[in-house]
Amino acid sequence: SVFFTNELIGWIGGGFFSSWDIRHPPSSVILKTTNGGGVVNVVFNIPESFLLKQNYPNPFNPITKIKYQIPELSFVTLKVYDVLGSEVATLVNEEKPVGNYEIKFNGIGLTSGIYFYQLRAVSFVETKKMVFMK
């Protein structure tokens, strides 16, 4: 709750925290400005589940973006395969903290056709299809 006795004096009542576990952060925090002006509501964008999004643009030539999210500290691999299942690129192969990610894939040097990209993290595995057109 927000209370004001006049235009300059007021207070905020509500929950308080000094720290939190990144796996279970508050959904938002209200901060008071130091110049006496209003309040700011900060909303955290912490993923709740693993997700691999469709690349964009698709079809692409020669660059496309791949977005994914991870809800916990995880060793992540993101690889690209051709239609025969041969690996053509490793885009990510490292431990990543909680967050939303975007990576650019450059298909220069590849032949036109269908490719698959696969995200692996903990027990999560998902594969999506993309089309490279020269």
pLDDT for 17 equals 47
∠ Cα 42 56 125 (to 5°): 80
pLDDT for 45 equals 75
| Residue 2 confidence (pLDDT) above 90 | no
Instruction: Report CA 48 to chain centroid distance, whole Å.
Output: 11
Q: What is the pLDDT of residues 72-111, one digit of tens each?
A: 999 999 999 999 999 999 999 999 999 999 999 999 999 9
Q: Of 15 and 114, which is predicted with more confidence?
A: 114
The domain ranges of the chain are 2-43, 51-132
pLDDT for 4 equals 67
| Residue 56 confidence (pLDDT) above 90 | yes
Single pTM value for the model: 0.70
The band of 128, judged by pLDDT with boundaries at 50, 70 and 90, is: very high
The band of 120, judged by pLDDT with boundaries at 50, 70 and 90, is: very high
Question: CATH fold of 51-132, please?
Answer: Immunoglobulin-like (2.60.40)
| Environment class of 64 (CB within 10 Å of its CB; exposed 0-12, middle 13-18, buried 19+) | buried
Q: What is the pLDDT of residues 17-52, one digit of tens each?
A: 444 555 455 555 555 555 555 555 555 678 999 999
- Both structure tokens of 73: 């500290």
Nearest CA among 96, 126, 132, 98 for reference residue 114: 132
